[in-house]
Structure 1
Amino acid sequence: MPVGPVLLDTGAAALALAAGRAAILPNPSPLTYVVAATAAQAVNTAKGRPADQEVALWVHDDSVWTGLTPSFGLAPRAVRTAFALLRAELVTLLVPVRGDARLPAWAGPALRDGQLLLFGARWLPLLPLLADFPQLYVSSANRTGHAPAATAAEALTMFGSEVPVTAAEGLRRPDAVHAATTMLRIAHDGELAHIRGGAQDRAHGADPADYLAHLRATYP
């Protein structure tokens, strides 16, 4: 008999997010699970780190992206590159903010040294849930000092029952070596810098320079 699509049970996550609490959500392989919330403090509390630590904005919603772009210190071509890196490459990206920009208050928790920390994945199985929560903060699903959860079981062990976990093992590759996202920084002219290793650059060998070369060729 044909096997139908594997649906995600996001009910508990939706209730948690609507209440301002954190939820653990899946990403496509080879990325790890993430912890998300409508308040940055909820993400940090779930991870067991200082409540005021910066946390990435999850710009999965196009209106959030377009609302932020006037504040970016990027040339037009670099804006397009940044969008491609977030949506196609699924990296975490540091984007410079203009000195005279007036960021919306909800962007403040993602600001680090004049740069916004952004994540932009739009994984199809999660879109029904994400559509109800256009403004989210996100970080890798790990308690401080531990590796990010590669499976729902690891997330449950690490976070316990107080943070709901949306399992997606039927949609993820069990043979993949999962890792948190690669972090890059983009400059005004679109030049890229490698900040933290992760799943994306590992797929291009041991040298992050190889991944940067791939990106420059793909997004000239």
Structure 2
Amino acid sequence: MSAGRESAGTVDPDGARIALHRGTAVVLPNPAPLTYVVAGTDPAAVNTAKDRPTDQAVALWVHDPATLAALDAVLDLDPARTAAVRRLLAEELVTLLLPLRPGAARPAWLAPATRDGWTMLFGARWAPLLPVIAGHPVLYVSSANRTGHRPAATAAEAVAMFPPAVPVLGAGPLTGGGPDTRPRAATTTLRLHPDGRLELHRRGAQDRPHADFDRYLDLVRSTYLRAG
């Protein structure tokens, strides 16, 4: 078995690290209840892997605390809501659409995750995966699906969906275990307004257990946004 190769169609953590350093988009696992994601240092590579226009907006994966802190000056949120954002990203594992402060100077690396005055952030910090992505404080990410397909819940689904040029890292090498068969879905996406209003942008794994998504929003508000 060659270095970097875990099994047919997948790579081990070293292989995933090498691919990311080369600028290749890589399909990566996340903890349940989330599906796999496709990530890379080049947003165009992420979009190409997904078979969609190269300039389509992607999320910024703020797994590095310094990257998230660098956005404090450009988010149009007060300190209490900025603190709530950190908790929502790290604890709830949702994707967030956040308002950008008009006129604030933005880092160039934020542009691929920005549309119409809003930026999209994903912030999962799954400990087993951090050694793979830690060398890339600026990383772009999207759900692991090709156009017209549902996000991959397993490495086998990802291998079947993506072309061979897109490496897939299985969860097994990270956890030392076999496949995790728990139900999975892409992340719920929430939009937080400057005044603290919270809206559901896209349903997903976090709100799925709630028959009425308004109940999920109420839970998020009471848990994370009381100060707002």
Instruction: Spell out the pairing of 1:113-128 with structure 2 (5 A cutoff).
Output: 113-128=116-131
Aligned equivalents of 1:197 and 1:207: distance in 2?
A: 11
Measured against aligned partners, the alpha-carbon deviations of 1:10-57 in whole angstroms (never above 9, x if no partner) come to 111111111111000000011000000001001000000000000000
Aligned equivalents of 1:189 and 1:10: distance in 2?
A: 42
Give the root-mean-square deviation of aligned CA atoms.
Answer: 1.3
Tell me if 1:131 matches 2:134.
yes
Match of 1:24 in 2: 27
Alignment-mate amino acid for residue 180 of structure 2: R
Q: How far 1:171 sits from its partner (Å)? A: 6.9
Segments of structure 1 that go 5 or more residues without pairing to the other structure are: 1-7
Say whether the 8 Å CA contact 1:23–1:35 is kept in structure 2. Answer: yes
Aligned equivalents of 2:141 and 2:199: distance in 1?
A: 22
Say whether the 8 Å CA contact 1:81–1:190 is kept in structure 2. Answer: no
- Report the number of matched residues: 211
Aligned equivalents of 1:112 and 1:206: distance in 2?
A: 30
Match of 2:214 in 1: 209
Say whether the 8 Å CA contact 1:78–1:189 is kept in structure 2. Answer: no
Say whether the 8 Å CA contact 2:17–2:133 is kept in structure 1. Answer: no
TM-score (norm 2): 0.89
Aligned equivalents of 2:205 and 2:180: distance in 1?
A: 14
Match of 2:48 in 1: 45
Aligned equivalents of 1:171 and 1:57: distance in 2?
A: 29
Superposition misfits of 4+ residues, deviation over 3 angstroms: none
Match of 1:107 in 2: 110
Segments of structure 2 that go 5 or more residues without pairing to the other structure are: 1-10
Q: How far 1:131 sits from its partner (Å)? A: 1.2
Tell me if 1:199 matches 2:190.
no
Aligned equivalents of 1:115 and 1:66: distance in 2?
A: 17
Which secondary structure state, in structure 2, belongs to the residue aligned with residue 24 of structure 1?
Answer: strand
TM-score (norm 1): 0.93
Which secondary structure state, in structure 2, belongs to the residue aligned with residue 68 of structure 1?
Answer: coil
Match of 1:173 in 2: 180
